[in-house]
C-alpha cells in the first residue's frame, strides 16, 4: 500500500464533529502535526472529508 503524510494546516475550530473525529482517528491532535498513514479505502475517505484542513504529501 502507498503511504501519505498528512499535516494539519488549518484550525479545527468551527468544523463539524465528524471532521474533528476524522482528525482524531487519523492521529492528528494539534496544528502543524504530521502523521504517516497507509492509503487504504477507509483512510482515503477520511482524508477526503478533511481535505480543506490538511496538506497531503505522497511518500
- Residue keyed to cell 498513514: 37
Burial track 38-54 (b if 16+ CB lie within 10 A, e otherwise): eeeeebeebbeebeebb
Q: What is the pLDDT of residues 42-58, one digit of tens each?
A: 999 999 999 999 999 99
Give the CATH superfamily of 3-58: Ribosomal protein L30/L7 (3.30.1390.20)
- Residue keyed to cell 464533529: 17
Query: What percent of the chain clears pLDDT 90, i.e. is strictly above it?
Result: 97
Calculated CA dihedral for residues 32, 34, 47, 14, nearest 10 degrees: -20
Q: Is the pLDDT score of 41 beyond 90?
A: yes
Angle between helical axes of 41-49 and 17-26 (0-180°, round to 10): 130
Amino acid at each position: 500500500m502507498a503511504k501519505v503524510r498528512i499535516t494539519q494546516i488549518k484550525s479545527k475550530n468551527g468544523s463539524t464533529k465528524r471532521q474533528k473525529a476524522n482528525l482524531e482517528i487519523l492521529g492528528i491532535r494539534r496544528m502543524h502535526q504530521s502523521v504517516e498513514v497507509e492509503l487504504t479505502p477507509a483512510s482515503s475517505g477520511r482524508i477526503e472529508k478533511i481535505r480543506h484542513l490538511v496538506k497531503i504529501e505522497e511518500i
